Amino acid sequence: MFLLDEPEAALSPQRQLSLLTIMYDMEREQKSQLIIATHSPLLLAYPNADIFLLDENGISQVKYEETEHYQITKGFLDNPDKYFKMLFGS
């Protein structure tokens, strides 16, 4: 069992993709279980991952597209000008 706390903190997006490959290899060998605390939309996207949200209401399982990290990242990438206007008031 591996417990990882925000492994993306020191990883570029490309290296996060490499980590996904390592995770896949570990899962395929069926010798490892990974529990990961992350804010990374890339790591959260791992196929068939069980995603749990920890907040003031406790712990609940959520779908990838329901995570705030996914929604903010997608929204920004789809329309950065909207976010700039909201953030900078221009």
* Alpha-carbon torsion (36, 41, 47, 52), positive or negative: positive
- Reported pTM: 0.85
pLDDT tens digit sequence for 65-89: 999 999 999 999 999 999 999 999 9
Whole-angstrom distance, CA of residue 52 vs CA of residue 17: 21
By the 10 Å C-beta count (0-12 exposed, 13-18 middle, 19+ buried), 48 is classed as exposed
Whole-angstrom distance, CA of residue 17 vs CA of residue 43: 8
pLDDT tens digit sequence for 31-70: 889 999 999 999 999 999 999 999 999 999 999 999 999 9
* Total tally of structural domains belonging to the chain: 1
